[in-house]
Each structure stands twice: as structure tokens, then as C-alpha cells.
Amino acid sequence: MAENISQVSNVTTKKADEEFNLSDILIVALNYWKWYLLSIIICLLCAFIYVKRSPNVYQRQATVMIKSEKGSSQLESEAATFEDLGIVSTSKSVDNELLVFKTKRLMIETARRLHLDVDYSREGHFREFNLYGSTPYTLSFPDAEEDEMFALKMTPEKGGKIRLHEFIVGKKKYMSDVYAAPGVPVKTPVGRVIVSKNERKSAEPLTGVDINVRKYNLKTVGLSYSARLQTALASKMASIITLTMQDVSKERAEEVLDTLVAVYNEDAINDKNKVVVNTDKFINERLETLEGELGGVDMTIANFKSSHQLTDISADASAFRSSYNAMEQKAADLQNQKAVAQYILDYIRSRIGDNRYDVIPNNAGVKNTQVETLISQYNTLTLQREKLQQDAGVNNPQVEDLGNSIDQLRTRIISSINSLIRSLDVEIANTNSRVSSGSSRLTAVPTQQKTVTNVERQQRIKENLYMYLLNKREANNLKKNMTESNARVLDPAEGSDSPVAPRKAMIMLLGLIIGIAIPSAILWFTVVGSTKVRSRKDIEKVLSMPFVGEIPEVVDNSRFAWLNKIRNFINQKQNKRRKHLDVVISKDSKDPVSEAIRVMRTNLHLLKAGDKNKKVIMMTSYIPGAGKTFVSSNLAMSMALTHRKVIIVDTDIRRGSLSAQYGRNLPGVTNYLGGYNDNIDELIVHSDKSEYLDILPAGVNAPNPAELLLLPKLEELIEQLKERYDYIILDNVPAQVVADAVIVNRVADMTIFVIRAGNLDRRMLPDVQQLHESGKFNNMCVVLNGVSKTHMYTSYYGYHQYQGYGYY
């Protein structure tokens, strides 16, 4: 049996496409067209409601160009040379700016400037409508923190009054009303509130309309807009960035993009000015020191000349002084360079700990190309590290790599400055030596001249340094005021007035597809996915015995069919039996079931091939519930309608399904077989449905049904019935349940094997075929009972189509 089940299962799997082709699917779908229509209507209605409840989303786009850095390092300039060859790409900085635009810090600042944490909306029939830019009044909350959340309603009323009500803070709701006037702070459950009139052209009066005002966490709002922002490069070789934002408010999307670009440029300018600010601070500190020193030198000269009553110094050695003064000037220049170098060295060494990554003042007066180049590179790396640390965190590997590079560069700067100071010391020493040798030649000059000369020399050194720093300060201020923004706006935020979402046509189409797919999926799993016998095709592919009929399922088309279904569900077993016992065929019946019974009657007559001795027809099945009694009763009635004498013998002496409708305890087969009553006339019950139809009940319950059926009296009973009737129909038990069916079949001329659609598993059909091949049942044929319209593929060409044309 297991092998047979496996074989039929394999056959069913291999021929699944042949069993259920496209025409079958269409027939099944047409039979359930009402369910399809209902499903489509419901899904389209759901799609329509979804479209109505979903706000329109608009898209806005802005285009900016990232300006190139003019003061880039030599390495970057050389890398740009190989960009066209594809060896080195210089778009890394532009890629970094893509990430900078999406940083939380910039978007939170944008949300803060536009007050995006306060949302305004009004109720509609299906959804809320956002009122950004169109609300007649705006609210500000001076006492509210940025992370605070609450809600209230604002209602503009006639006379210019604004009613604030229904305050919600956390889980508390305050129903008190507060009336406010524009510009006047009022106390409310959420703190002070200031109402301001919206001066925009898009503002609507909305008098008497409740406006929902919600205050959200500013950081959460900024993160939400940052997630919705899309950034992309216009081209791999270009430095143009496209910023895209989708929002339910066209005006808000435009303002968010424009403000974001402005915030980005301000942040870039502040970043670039950090070096200039530190340099300005250093210069101002040194100027203050020099001012004090120059005042002291001037006072020393004045006191010295006053105490010695000096007004002019003789120019006795004018020829010598020209060369001597040149040497002194050189010494002063060298001292100036050394002082500036020493200042910078002290400044670098004073930056320890977290301050070691501060920028170094540039253009401070060090006349050494190598030192100036190293300082410029140091400041560039320092700014890059600071910006990357803000975006990625201090533990980022790139931040640590930049820190190591900066530390190495600082060491090189210190080493270069030390070397510069040592070389200046040597040169100063040589110059001073030459000055000292020249001063010996001034011995003839009065001591006062020498003292004044030394003091005046210090004065000149400090004056030169002071004037130099003044010039540098002016140049630094000019650079500070001329700092350019990092991005240039090519196209401001703009876009189409048509919404990008929801896509109404697509959603309605999707609703239509789902409406078709839901019943299709249900039918597929319930009909195609079922392993039960569904139709005649399932039987004819496995069984070789003759197929004599296909009886449709009895459908209740009465007005109260739905009520009968409820009753059947409540009392399923009782109604199931009653349904099987109903005789639906009559003289004037033209329903599909009656026509199917007539077809089966005709096919049985053809199987007899004119042999009048084949009178005994036995009904059996594989398992209970196949409808044997229903088929027996209606077949007998159809034969009786042809004026043939027919008797139904209830040989199911265990249950007596046929006898139940006349009374289970009536005498019958068991009484005759047991020898209690040999008079057949006393046992036969005449049917009230036809004068040609009689019934022989099962009789009283017997303790040994199988033994009774083995008695020779069964043959005697059948022989007596053959003399009286044209047809004898034996309503028997299932063949697979008990042995009664095989025992009774010895007196049968034909065996009708009843299979009920949806009741027998297709994997059991090989067992039925084996019963036929084994010869246990005489002249087996098969009838399919209870075929639903869904599975009855021939219904459009058979009973259902031609039921109005009469009998077969």
C-alpha cells in the first residue's frame, strides 16, 4: 500500500500541469466570480482610503558647487596632475563634503533656525494637513527646553484674539483656555507662550479653525531630516553636489535645503578663520609688550640726555659711522629674526596636552622658507584633524593617524626653528664681533655718545619690530574679512508642484492586483493544493474500471439557504446524514443532480449489454461518508420512474443508514437471515415516492453481522427478490472498514464503487484499483459523488448548460 501511495504521489507531482491547466483555472475563477468581485471592491476601497489618508509628499532639489582650495599643499597639486590618467583621484575632499552635509550638527542647527521642532496642522476629512508657512500665527516658547515635548491647540477667533487650549504635557491633559494677543507673553501649562503674526504671503486666516501645535525634541527632528536628506555627486569628475529633500510641505523642503547650505558655508568660514584668529591674538599680545618696552627706552634716552645736558652729538667720525651703522642695522635685523623665531618656539612648546593640536601663528616674521612651509602644512593638518574629530569621534583611526602626522611635523618645526636660532646666533656673534671691533675706534668719541648710541640701537630694534607687527596685523585682518565660503549655490531649492508620493495610480493598481491575488491564492491552496479526489480526471488517470457517472453536489438554492447552512454547521452529523438520504430525483425534476442520476442509469444499462439476468447491483465505497445511500436511493428512484420494479436492500446491518428514515427497529434482513421471519412480504416496506419502489430494511441489530451474511439464506433472499423485481440494489458497508462488503458481493452482479469528491485521498486510488484487479468485487464500476461546481469541469458542456432540455 505504501508503494502504491508513493507511485500515485509521484505521478500526481509529475503531471500537475496536465491536471490543472489554464482552462481549469479560469473555470474555477469564474465559478467564484462573486468572491473575486468582493475581494477587488474591498482592496480597491482600502487602497482608496490609504491614498486619501496619506499626505502628498513633494520633492525639492538644490545644486551647489564645492570651491577648490587655493592654498593646497604641494602633494595635492601633484596628485591633481595624475587625475586625468585615473591613477590618483582628487574627489576625496568632495566626497567628504557629501558626508559633512549629512552631519547631525548642521541639520540640528538648521532645524533650530527654522523652528522645525514646532509643527502646525489642521484636521481634514481623512487626514491632517500641514500648515507650515500658512498658519496665521506662530508660537514661541521661551521657557521650553530644546528636548521638551508637548502639544496644544490654537484657534484664531474674531477680533484678533487667539485661544490656546487642550494642553498636553506627557500623559497629562489640561482643558483650560488661555487667550493671547500677538506679541504679549502669556502663562500656560507649558510655560510662557508668545504669539506672533505670520507675515508671509502664504498665511491663511483660518478663523475659528482648531490648529494642532506640537513641540518635538529638536535633536530628534534634526536627526529625522538628516536621515531624509539625500546627497549625490552630479558627476565623478565634477565637484557639484545635488541635495534632495522630500517633505509634505513644499515650502519647508525648500527652506531646509537653502538654510542647510547657508549653515554649511558659515561653518566652513569659521573653520578657515581659526588660523587667522590665533595669529591676530599672538600679534596683539606682542604689540602690547613692545609698547611698554619702547616707552621705557624713550624714557631712558630722555633722562640720560637731560642729566648730561646733551642736545647734539658731534659727527667727528661721519665716514666711519656709515659703515658702522650698516653693520648695526644688520645686527638689528638678525636680532629681530631671532626674537620672532624664539617667540614661535616658546609658543609651540607652551602647547601641551589637549592644546598641542592648536594652530601655529603664520606669517609672523620668520624669514625662512622651510619653517614657513612646515608651519603651513602643520596648520592644514590640524584643521583637517579637528573637523574629522567633530564628525567621526576622537577614537577614529584617521584622527589618530592625523595626530601622529601632526606630532611628527611639530618635531620637525621645533628642530628647524632651533637650527635657525643657532645659525642666527652664529651670525649675530660674528656681526657683534665686527661691531665691537669697530667700537674700539670710537674711543675718541665721548662716553656719552657711546651710551646714547647703545640705547638708540635698542630703540630702533624695537621700533622696527613694532612696525612690522602692525603691518602683519593689518594684513591678517584683511585676510579675515576676505575669507570665501566653501560652496557656491548653482540652483536654489526648487521642484515640481506634482507630488512624488503617494503614487495613486500605482497604489490603486496594486489594490486591484491584491484583490485578484487573495481569492486566487485561497483557491490555489484549497483546490489545487488539495490531495483529495476532485474530479473525474483524478479517477480516470488511475482506475481502469468503467466510469458510470459524475453526480454534482446538492446545492441549496432556497431563499433561506444561509439559514440552512447555519443549521448544518450546528448539527453537522445529523444534517449530513439527512442530506445523503434525500431523494432529489422525481418525474418532473430537471436539476443537475437528477440529470446526472439519469446519465448513470443509462451507463449502467449499457454495461449490462442487454443481459437481463444482471439484476443485483451492490453499492460500496472505500471509506465511510461517500454517499452510498444517497446514490442508492436516487438510482433506485430513477429506475422506478421507468416503470421498473426496484427494491433497495439495506445490507448495512451494522448501521442501517437506509433503514433509519423508516425506523431502525423495523424487521428486515437480519430477521430473515436469522430465521425469525421467512415471509418476505412482511419485511418489505413500500416507498411513498413511487409505486415501483420498495425497501427491505436492515432489521434489528445483530451481534454477529458477518456470520449472518455468510449464511446460505442470503442467496435464498436474493433469489426470491429476483423473481419479483427488475433491479435489486444492495446498500452495503465500506469495503475497507469491515469484511461485510466482500461477503455480500458474492450475490451481486455488478458493484458500484462510490467515491465522494473531497472525501477520498488521491493516494488511496491505487488501493481501489487493486481491489478491482484482485476480483474481489464482481463487475466493478465507479461513480463520483458530490462533485462541486468548482471541480466539475464538464459542467459547462453537461448538466448545468442543458438542464432545461429534459431527461436523458
| DSSP letters spanning 665-686 | TS--HHHHHTTS---HHHH-EE
Number of Cβ within a 10 Å radius of residue 561: 10
Q: Is the peptide bond before 502 cis (omega within 30 degrees of 0)?
A: yes
Q: Determine whether 195 is exposed, middle or buried from the number of CB atoms within 10 Å of its CB (0-12, 13-18, 19+).
A: buried
* Residue (of 522, 548, 541, 442) closest to 808 by Cα position: 548
- The lowest-confidence range among 110-124, 449-463, 518-532 is 449-463
Summarised one tens digit per residue, pLDDT across range 355-412 is 667 777 766 566 677 777 888 888 788 888 778 777 777 777 877 777 788 778 888 8
Which amino acid, residue 506? M
Mean pLDDT, rounded, for 734-749: 88
Place of cell 613692545: 290
Q: What average pLDDT does the structure give for the chain?
A: 80
**Confidence at 72, pLDDT banded by 50, 70, 90:** very low
pLDDT of residue 6: 39
3-class DSSP state of 414 = helix
Residue 798 — very low, low, confident or very high, per pLDDT cuts 50/70/90? very low
pLDDT for res 82 = 42
Q: How far out from the chain centre does Cα 277 lie?
A: 49
Tell me which of 493 and 665 has the higher pLDDT.
493
Return the higher-pLDDT residue of 613 and 2: 613
Instruction: Cite the beta strand spans of 553-629 per DSSP E.
Output: 616-621
Percent of the chain with pLDDT over 70: 78
Residue 580 pLDDT class (50, 70, 90 cuts): very low
Most confident of 18-32, 81-95, 556-570, 661-675: 661-675
pLDDT tens for each residue of 411-424: 888 888 888 888 88
Q: Which cell numbers in the block locate residue 372? A: 614657513
Residue-level pLDDT at 341: 78
pLDDT score, position 452: 66
Amino acid at 515: G
Question: What is the torsional sign of CA 592, 594, 598, 604?
Answer: positive
Spatial distance between the Cα atoms of 457 and 190, rounded to a whole number of angstroms: 72
Whose CA is closest to 207, among 161, 169, 275, 172?
A: 161
Cα-to-chain-centroid distance, residue 732: 61
Helix (H) or strand (E) holding 731: strand 727-731
- Tell me the pLDDT band of 22, cut-offs 50, 70 and 90: low
Q: Which amino acid is at 626?
A: A
Query: For the purposes of burial, counting CB atoms within 10 Å of the CB of 741, is it exposed (0-12), middle (13-18) or buried (19 or more)?
Result: buried
Residue 435: the pLDDT is 72
| 578/64: higher pLDDT | 64
Question: What proportions of the chain, in percent to the nearest 5, are helix, strand and coil?
Answer: 55, 15, 30
Q: Are 740 and 732 in contact (CB under 8 A)?
A: yes
Confidence of residue 74 (pLDDT cuts 50, 70, 90): very low
**Nearest partner of 150 among 130, 133, 173, judged by Cα:** 173
In the predicted model, what is the mean pLDDT of residues 278-282? 75
- Please answer whether residues 283 and 473 qualify as being in contact, where contact means their C-beta atoms are separated by less than 8 angstroms: yes
Residues 6+ apart with CB under 8 A from 362: 275, 279, 372, 375, 376, 379
Quote the pLDDT of residue 187. 94
Whether residue 271 is predicted with pLDDT greater than 80 in this model: the reply is no
DSSP strands (E only) in 178-277: 178-180, 186-188, 191-197, 211-215, 230-233, 240-247
pLDDT digits (tens, 9 = 90+) for 757-777: 888 888 899 999 998 899 889
Mean pLDDT of all residues in 475-481: 66
Q: Is pLDDT larger for residue 323 or for residue 177?
A: 177
What are the tens digits of pLDDT across the range 645-700?
Answer: 999 999 988 887 777 766 557 888 888 998 888 889 889 998 888 899 999 998 88
pLDDT score of 609 = 66
Per-residue confidence at 210, pLDDT binned at 50, 70, 90? very high
Question: pTM to 2 decimals?
Answer: 0.56
Residue 643 region by backbone torsions, left for phi larger than 0, else alpha for psi between -120 and 50, else beta: left
Q: pLDDT tens digits, residue range 131-185?
A: 999 999 999 999 999 999 999 999 999 888 899 999 999 889 998 899 999 999 9
Residue of 102, 111, 161 whose CA lies nearest to 132: 111
Could you tell me the CA-to-CA distances from 784 to 28, 534, 537, 631, 760 in Å, in that order?
A: 19, 9, 11, 10, 11
State whether residue 226 is helix, strand or coil.
helix
d(CA 527, CA 520) in angstroms, rounded, equals 10
pLDDT for 13: 38
Sequence-distant (≥ 6) Cβ neighbours of residue 726 within 8 angstroms:
615, 639, 644, 645, 646
What 3-state class would DSSP assign to 238? coil
Which of 645, 642, 668 lies closest to 731, judged by CA? Answer: 668
CA distance 272 to 768: 92
CA distance 164 to 261: 35
